[in-house]
Amino acid sequence: MQNLPLKLTKSLDIRKQQNAIRILSYKKNLIDFSSNDYLGFSNLKQVYFTAEKILTDFNLMKNGATGSRLLSGNHQLFAPAEDFIANFHSAESALIFNSGYDANVGFFSSVPQRGDIIFYDELVHASIRDGISMSRAKAYKFKHNDIPDLCGHIERSRNINNEPEIYIVTESVFSMDGDIPDLKTLAEFAEKQHCFLVVDEAHATGVFGQDGAGMVQELGVQDKIFARIITFGKALGCHGAVILGSTTLKEYLVNFARSFIYTTALPPHNVATILASYQYLKNKPELAEVNPEHVEGSEIKKLKQNIEFFKAEIVANKLQSFFTESNSAIQSCILPGNEMVKNTASKLEAEGYNVKPILSPTVPKGKERLRFCLHSFNSREEISGVLKVLVKLTN
């Protein structure tokens, strides 16, 4: 086998020197404070069996999609799934992508045009940045959750260039800090300024809003938003994503989003799982028969209680100075330095807890952190337990 080119070997060496090398590992029997499976849906038998039933009903016992959706891959589950999702999210239309990464790359690389301007929150996800870097539009970041800063940028850009289309991009729950922007004000601001607001709801879906519909719907601002990105790999426990917007946006993406066009479609069983997860969230009557114990929204309720309990335990253990303020399922404990945060995560692991260290350069230097992901299925003992160990490790 040929050796890796020297430049790449050097990049790996630098990562190792920075104590930031990434490795693939498999951890079992640890208490989960790291997965995005906020509601435990990835293990829900009801979702699994409902998906199986959907496949049987549609006579879709197939292993793969066989092609792009524009060729042979647009199997008959896509239309009902997209209709269900659009309806669930009070959107005109929904277009399924193979992942949230693909959705963001497809959207930002194709929608903003040369001469347009994108203003994005400085902490948006890598998939948004990658999409933006493929766009011909000019892009500038604004300070995190800082509407006056954004406003200044927009005023300056309008003075230079008369009529650019302006896109504003944010997340409704930020993936590394778990904090939430003032979306209501932002949506009103975008509307007043005639800007196109794009919101990534990856970490709000399943957590906020009626039946977990997201933060945008919790605030009732869906009609002020040009596009929403919803991902299924987090609280929905499966895989894929959808872009919500107008039917003309959907038509545009089908024609121009390259990450939608030039890839094999999601297989039927994946789309069936997405649909089954949504049906479970919505708690359809036929699902109540499958799962008579299911109380509407019980997983979401348990998750919310766990978030409250975790925050109360932070205070009870006098750990406030380490944690960033968050009301979401993501709670970040800042422990500066890759070595420090990695060591602490290893010690927690030795005690049976899986908490991921987030290293620089994924987050800025000095902002390395333990990222606690909370779930509906975490017990109070587990939450108290992990924070008790953290107290010992930080003293």
Ligand X SMILES: Cc1ncc(COP(=O)(O)O)c(C=O)c1O
Report if residue 231 touches ligand X, rule: CB under 6 A.
yes
CB contact at 8 A, 348 and 27: no
Beta carbons within 10 angstroms of residue 157's beta carbon: 15
Comparing CA positions, the residue from 162, 179, 165 lying closest to residue 118 is 165
- Please identify, using beta-carbon distances, which residue of 362 and 384 lies nearer to ligand X: 362
Report if residue 237 touches ligand X, rule: CB under 6 A.
no
Instruction: Tell me the window of 94-102, 110-118, 296-304, 370-378 that interacts with ligand X (CB under 6 A).
Output: 94-102
Instruction: Tell me the window of 67-75, 95-103, 272-280, 347-355 that interacts with ligand X (CB under 6 A).
Output: 95-103
- Shortest Å distance, C-beta 358 to ligand X: 12
CA 194 to chain centroid: 26
For residue 31, list its beta bridge partners: 353
Measured in residues, the chain has a length of 395
- Shortest Å distance, C-beta 99 to ligand X: 3
Comparing CA positions, the residue from 3, 103, 43 lying closest to residue 273 is 43
Judged by CB under 6 A, which of 127, 326, 328, 376 binds ligand X? 127
Report if residue 236 touches ligand X, rule: CB under 6 A.
no
Q: How far is CA 72 from CA 57, 65, 200, 264, 345, in A?
A: 20, 7, 29, 9, 46
Judged by CB under 6 A, which of 233, 245, 268, 357 binds ligand X? 233
User: Which token pair is 209?
Assistant: 């809003």
Report if residue 73 touches ligand X, rule: CB under 6 A.
no
Report if residue 198 touches ligand X, rule: CB under 6 A.
no
User: Which token pair is 26?
Assistant: 């498999």
Residue at 96: amino acid letter: I
- The H or E element that residue 247 is part of is helix 247-256
Judged by CB under 6 A, which of 75, 125, 141, 269 binds ligand X? 125
- Shortest Å distance, C-beta 266 to ligand X: 11
Instruction: Tell me the window of 42-50, 97-105, 178-186, 206-214 that interacts with ligand X (CB under 6 A).
Output: 97-105
Report if residue 369 touches ligand X, rule: CB under 6 A.
no
Instruction: Calculate the dihedral angle through the C-alpha atoms of 215, 277, 86, 82, rounding to the nearest 10 degrees.
Output: 150
Q: How far is CA 328 from CA 5, 105, 196, 378, 379, in A?
A: 43, 25, 26, 15, 17
Site for ligand X, residues 199 to 228, rule: CB under 6 A: 200, 202
Judged by CB under 6 A, which of 42, 50, 93, 99 binds ligand X? 99
Judged by CB under 6 A, which of 171, 218, 313, 382 binds ligand X? 171
CB contact at 8 A, 119 and 160: no
- Please identify, using beta-carbon distances, which residue of 205 and 222 lies nearer to ligand X: 205
Judged by CB under 6 A, which of 110, 135, 145, 175 binds ligand X? 175
> What span, in angstroms and rounded, lies between the C-alpha atoms of 105 and 258?
9
Report if residue 100 touches ligand X, rule: CB under 6 A.
yes
Report if residue 164 touches ligand X, rule: CB under 6 A.
no
- Please identify, using beta-carbon distances, which residue of 216 and 390 lies nearer to ligand X: 216
Q: Please report, as ranges, the residues that interact with ligand X according to CB under 6 A.
A: 99-101, 104, 125, 127, 171, 175, 200, 202, 231, 233, 241
